[in-house]
Amino acid sequence: MANQTRRSVLQYAGVTLTLGSLATGATAANDVATAESSASEEADGWSSLGGNAGNNSVVPASSAPEEPVDVVWEYDHGGPVAVDNGTVFVVANGGVHALDAADGSLEWETEDVGASGTPAVTPESVHVGGEQLTKVDRTDGTVCCQADLDYDEEIPSPTIVDGLVIVVADGALYAVDVQDHEIEWYVEPSEDPLYEQPVAVADGAVFATSESKAYALEVDDGSRRWIDDEPEGDDEYSRFPEPGANQPNYPVATDGVVAIGSADSEDGSIYREGHVTLYDTETGRKREHNDRGAFMPALISDDAFYAFDAYNVTGYDRESGSEVWDTEVNTYRVPSVAVGDGIVYAGLAVDGEAYGPDEVPEPSDGVYAFDEETGEIEWAVGTDEIPTIALADETIYASSETLVAIRNEDDDRSEEPDEEEEEENDDGDDGETDDESEDESADGDSESDDSDGDDGDSSSSSDDGDDDSTDDGSDDGTSDESDGGDDASGSDDDDAENEDGDDASGDDDTDGGSDDVGDGDDADDDDDGDDGDDGDDADDADDSVPGFTAGAGAVGGLATLEWLRRKAGDADEPAE
What tens digit of pLDDT does each residue of 67-88 get?
999 999 999 999 999 999 999 9
Closest by CA position to 159, among listed 124, 193, 138, 133: 133
Per-residue confidence band for 424, with pLDDT thresholds at 50, 70 and 90: low
Cβ within 8 Å of residue 191, ≥6 positions away: 14, 210, 212, 213
Return d(Cα 456, Cα 450) in angstroms, integer.
13
Q: What was the pLDDT predicted at 217? A: 99
Q: What was the pLDDT predicted at 269? A: 61
Where b means 16+ CB within 10 Å and e means fewer, 147-162 reads bebebeeebbbbbbbb
Q: What was the pLDDT predicted at 1? A: 46
Q: What was the pLDDT predicted at 518? A: 36
| 574 CA to centre of own chain | 60
SS3 at position 132: coil
CB contact at 8 A, 233 and 182: no
User: For residue 112, is it within any domain?
Assistant: no
pLDDT in tens, 332-381: 999 999 999 999 999 999 999 889 888 899 999 999 999 999 999 999 99
Is the predicted pLDDT of residue 454 greater than 50, yes or no?
A: no
Main-chain dihedrals φ then ψ at residue 32, nearest 5 degrees: -65, -45
Q: For the chain, what percent of residues have pLDDT higher than 70? A: 63
CB contact at 8 A, 378 and 336: no
User: For residue 472, is it within any domain?
Assistant: yes
CB contact at 8 A, 387 and 396: no
Q: What was the pLDDT predicted at 575? A: 43
SS3 at position 563: helix
Return d(Cα 496, Cα 494) in angstroms, integer.
7
Which residues lie across from 288 on neighbouring strands? 278
Which amino acid, residue 82?
Answer: A
Which residues lie across from 202 on neighbouring strands? 205
Cβ within 8 Å of residue 246, ≥6 positions away: 333, 335
User: For residue 178, is it within any domain?
Assistant: no
Label residue 455 exposed, middle or buried (CB < 10 Å: 0-12, 13-18, 19+). buried
Per-residue confidence band for 516, with pLDDT thresholds at 50, 70 and 90: very low
Q: How many domains does the chain have?
A: 1
User: For residue 497, is it within any domain?
Assistant: yes
SS3 at position 460: coil
Q: How many CB atoms lie within 10 A of CB 520?
A: 9
Q: What was the pLDDT predicted at 419? A: 53
Per-residue confidence band for 16, with pLDDT thresholds at 50, 70 and 90: low
SS3 at position 377: strand
CB contact at 8 A, 403 and 105: no
Per-residue confidence band for 272, with pLDDT thresholds at 50, 70 and 90: confident
Q: What was the pLDDT predicted at 235? A: 76
- What does the angle CA 421 – CA 426 – CA 430 come to, to the nearest 5 degrees? 135
pLDDT in tens, 83-93: 999 999 999 99
Average pLDDT (460-482) is 39
CB contact at 8 A, 191 and 212: yes
Average pLDDT (212-219) is 98
CB contact at 8 A, 290 and 307: yes
Average pLDDT (180-200) is 96
User: For residue 441, is it within any domain?
Assistant: yes
Is the predicted pLDDT of residue 220 greater than 50, yes or no?
A: yes
pLDDT in tens, 228-262: 999 998 777 799 998 877 777 899 999 999 999 99
Per-residue confidence band for 571, with pLDDT thresholds at 50, 70 and 90: very low
Per-residue confidence band for 541, with pLDDT thresholds at 50, 70 and 90: very low
pTM for the model stands at 0.69
Return d(Cα 176, Cα 166) in angstroms, integer.
6
Query: Number of helices and strands (H, E) in the chain?
Result: 7, 34
Is the predicted pLDDT of residue 533 greater than 50, yes or no?
A: no
Q: What was the pLDDT predicted at 535? A: 41
Label residue 566 exposed, middle or buried (CB < 10 Å: 0-12, 13-18, 19+). middle
User: For residue 264, is it within any domain?
Assistant: no
Per-residue confidence band for 17, with pLDDT thresholds at 50, 70 and 90: low
User: For residue 459, is it within any domain?
Assistant: yes
Q: What was the pLDDT predicted at 413? A: 83
Q: What was the pLDDT predicted at 420? A: 53
Q: How many CB atoms lie within 10 A of CB 293?
A: 16
SS3 at position 382: strand
Cβ within 8 Å of residue 565, ≥6 positions away: none
User: For residue 151, is it within any domain?
Assistant: no
Per-residue confidence band for 15, with pLDDT thresholds at 50, 70 and 90: low
Average pLDDT (553-562) is 38
β-bridge pairing 365-371 and 377-382: antiparallel
- What is the dihedral angle through the alpha carbons of 168, 173, 179, 182, rounded to the nearest 10 degrees? -110
DSSP string, 259-326: EEEEE-S-TT-SS--EEEEEEETTT--EEEEPPSB--EEEEE-SSEEEEE-SS-EEEEETTT--EEEE
Return d(Cα 488, Cα 285) in angstroms, integer.
41
Average pLDDT (469-496) is 39
- What does the angle CA 78 – CA 82 – CA 87 come to, to the nearest 5 degrees? 95
Return d(Cα 133, Cα 147) in angstroms, integer.
5
CB contact at 8 A, 383 and 398: yes
Domain that holds residue 429: 419-572
pLDDT in tens, 24-42: 233 333 443 443 433 233 3
Lowest-confidence region among 46-55, 321-330, 394-403, 446-455: 446-455
pLDDT in tens, 87-114: 999 999 999 999 999 999 999 999 999 9
Which residues lie across from 296 on neighbouring strands? 308
Query: In whole angstroms, how large is the CA radius of gyration of the chain?
Result: 25
β-bridge pairing 15-20 and 313-317: unpaired
Per-residue confidence band for 438, with pLDDT thresholds at 50, 70 and 90: very low
- Mean pLDDT, the chain, rounded, equals 76
Main-chain dihedrals φ then ψ at residue 51, nearest 5 degrees: 95, -10
Helix, strand, coil shares of the chain, percent, nearest 5, are 20, 35, 45
Q: What was the pLDDT predicted at 402? A: 98
